[in-house]
Amino acid sequence: MSWSFETDSEFQEQLNWIDKFTREEIEPLDLVFRGPGDPWDPDSPAAAAMAPLKEIVKEKRLWACHIGPELGGQGYGQVNLGLMNEILGRSRFGPSVFGCQAPDSGNAEILAHFGTPHQKEKYLQPLLDGKIASCYSMTEPQAGADPAEFTCTATRDGDEWVINGEKWFASHARFSEFLLVMVVTNTDVPIHEGASIVLVEKGTPGMEILRNSAVGPYVEQGDGVHGYLRFTDCRVPADHLLGEEGQGFLVAQTRLGGGRVHHAMRSVGKLKKVMDMMCERVLSRTTKGELLANKQMTQEKIADSYTQILQYRLHVLYTAWLIDKHKEYNREVRKEIAAIKAATPKVLQEVVYRAMHLHGSLGMSDEIPLMYMWADIPELGVVDGPSEVHKVTVARTVLRDHEPAPGLFPTYHTPTQREAAMKKYGHYLTENG
């Protein structure tokens, strides 16, 4: 197998087109449609503006590239998808225009693998076509990283499941035709054996949205896209279970691993955009008789940011390469996914802050995108599992490849090593001394 950091010329041409299309056609959407749900709401004015752009993407055979050809996608693989996503990450509308927006992308994969023929006909194809929105609901008001604390239950009653409990931060619930909800179906076994995922259709009696929360302070309270849900004797048909009873976490893995990688891929694009803004600013502003770019402390910020972004980008692409290689989320792959997921908010925090600082008061104003980017950073440290959980996963996996020292001193104890080395090579000292 050859080793290369180059993209084949044919796909590079496609990437060049995606970059131009994103800058000229998609990024302007960010300036016109500023509502919190505009990229995902099928009934928003933004949806009408995106419609012709989506058709162009489909004609270019770049639509839903995360999905295999058997489901109407291109199946380009994670590395190519990463190269695409780091361009699309420049705009919050990018993934929607290219049919790879969360949570719809992951929910489509679940339906493709576990949905009934009726569910696939009713929901999967419209979802793949970008005509409807969906929601994945797992977190609860008092439980997120620790699923053992989940209290939202589903009890079998004849040909129905009866759901009771609350869910929190259910993204896009207000726009969704259906929700995939993680529920406890057996309280007598450990949660990873007793949780299941059920499909709840929009308007099902007993399901209500108590309120919609937003990320950051820039949205009128109650007008966000993350739903606080309550289920009260909410009945769904028995065949709305995705997978088998008790397989909730197995089913969820179909979407969560890829989703975490895609967050990181798009973050690369955001970081590159921040770097562009930072460089343009320091080359444009003069202070104390010279350009900001000529100041050594400014140059340090540029150098540190460049290095961090490149290291992070290569780690993301390496993780994507591993997924393509193994074709599954095995232990090695999960370790790297956890590592980049934990790294994402840290890199963004440091690079975005430097950019804000170099812009001075303009950087903290609402007249350039940096403050909005800053407000979104904490979300990436929490969604799909907090950074601390992912760091524990990384540490435990790394430690599995190591063993404790067999004796009193470590294996790298110099006096002990020297004694062994002298037995092997010490005679040269006397023979040639």
What lies within 8 Å, CB to CB, of 188 at 6+ separation is 194
Helix (H) or strand (E) holding 287: strand 286-287
Scanning the structure block, which residue is given the tokens 């444009």?
284
In a domain, 349, yes or no: yes
Mean pLDDT of 316-328: 91
Asked whether 29 and 54 are in contact (CB, 8 A), the reply is no
Total residues found in the chain within this entry = 433
Residues 306 and 374 in one domain: yes
Mean pLDDT of 344-349: 96
Query: What pLDDT is stored for residue 295 in this prediction?
Result: 97
Residues 256 and 372 in one domain: yes
Mean pLDDT of 315-341: 92
Query: What pLDDT is stored for residue 291 in this prediction?
Result: 96
Query: What pLDDT is stored for residue 160 in this prediction?
Result: 97
Residues 290 and 311 in one domain: yes
Mean pLDDT of 252-266: 80
Give how far Cα 260 sits from Cα of 148, 220, 326, 403, 406, Å.
22, 28, 17, 30, 38
Which three-class secondary structure string do you get for 263-276? HHHHHHHHHHHHHH
CATH number, domain with residue 202: 2.40.110.10
Relative orientation angle of helices 331-359 and 296-326, to the nearest 10 degrees: 160
Task: Residue 76: name the closest of 1, 131, 124, 15 by CA.
Answer: 15
Asked whether 271 and 230 are in contact (CB, 8 A), the reply is no
d(CA 255, CA 41): 21
In a domain, 424, yes or no: no
What lies within 8 Å, CB to CB, of 18 at 6+ separation is 62, 84, 87, 88, 98
Residues 369 and 262 in one domain: yes
One-letter identity of residue 190 = P
Query: What pLDDT is stored for residue 257 in this prediction?
Result: 63
Could you say which of 242, 267, 295 is where a domain stops? 242
218 pLDDT tier (thresholds 50, 70, 90): low
In a domain, 82, yes or no: yes
pLDDT over threshold 60, residue 1: no
In a domain, 423, yes or no: no
Asked whether 87 and 94 are in contact (CB, 8 A), the reply is yes
Give how far Cα 265 sits from Cα of 86, 91, 381, Å.
5, 13, 15
21: Cα within 13 Å, side-chain hemisphere: 23
Task: Residue 41: name the closest of 169, 177, 200 by CA.
Answer: 177
CA angle at 37 for the pair 165 and 179, rounded to the nearest 5°: 35
In a domain, 433, yes or no: no
Residues 394 and 256 in one domain: yes
Query: What pLDDT is stored for residue 302 in this prediction?
Result: 98
Expressed as residue numbers, the domain containing 321 is 250-400
Where is average pLDDT lowest: 70-79, 238-247, 325-334?
70-79
The mean pLDDT value of the chain amounts to 92
Where is average pLDDT lowest: 168-172, 272-276, 327-331, 401-405?
327-331
pLDDT over threshold 80, residue 68: no
Query: What pLDDT is stored for residue 259 in this prediction?
Result: 74
Residues 202 and 295 in one domain: no
Query: What pLDDT is stored for residue 76 in this prediction?
Result: 83
Question: Is the pTM here over 0.85, yes or no?
Answer: yes
241 pLDDT tier (thresholds 50, 70, 90): very high
Residues 363-399 pLDDT 10s? 999 999 999 999 999 988 988 888 999 999 999 999 9
Query: What pLDDT is stored for residue 256 in this prediction?
Result: 66
Give how far Cα 158 sits from Cα of 104, 234, 235, 411, Å.
31, 14, 11, 63
Residues 31 and 105 in one domain: yes
In a domain, 127, yes or no: no
CATH number, domain with residue 90: 1.10.540.10
Could you say which of 242, 273, 300 is where a domain stops? 242
pLDDT over threshold 80, residue 427: yes
Query: What pLDDT is stored for residue 72 in this prediction?
Result: 63
Residues 271 and 349 in one domain: yes
Query: What pLDDT is stored for residue 133 in this prediction?
Result: 94
Which three-class secondary structure string do you get for 192-220? HHHEEEEEEECCCCCEEEEEEECCCCCCC
Residues 61 and 149 in one domain: no
Could you say which of 195, 224, 242 is where a domain stops? 242
d(CA 247, CA 256): 14
Query: What pLDDT is stored for residue 2 in this prediction?
Result: 63
Helices and strands, number each (H, E), in the chain: 16, 10
Residues 356 and 261 in one domain: yes
In DSSP terms, which residues pair with 162 in a beta bridge? 155, 235
d(CA 298, CA 354): 9
Query: What pLDDT is stored for residue 65 in this prediction?
Result: 87
Residues 238 and 254 in one domain: no
Residues 160-201 pLDDT 10s? 999 999 999 999 999 999 999 999 999 999 999 999 999 999
215 pLDDT tier (thresholds 50, 70, 90): confident
In a domain, 1, yes or no: no
Mean pLDDT of 100-119: 89
Asked whether 227 and 170 are in contact (CB, 8 A), the reply is yes
d(CA 262, CA 85): 7
In a domain, 369, yes or no: yes
Residues 198-211 pLDDT 10s? 999 999 999 999 99
Residues 74 and 157 in one domain: no
Q: How many domains does the chain have?
A: 3
In DSSP terms, which residues pair with 163 in a beta bridge? 154, 234
Query: What pLDDT is stored for residue 223 in this prediction?
Result: 83
Centre a 10 Å sphere on the Cβ of residue 169 and count the other Cβ atoms it contains.
Answer: 22
CATH number, domain with residue 298: 1.20.140.10
And the tokens for 156?
């079998």
Mean pLDDT of 240-244: 94
d(CA 199, CA 256): 17
Helix (H) or strand (E) holding 236: strand 226-237
d(CA 282, CA 355): 10
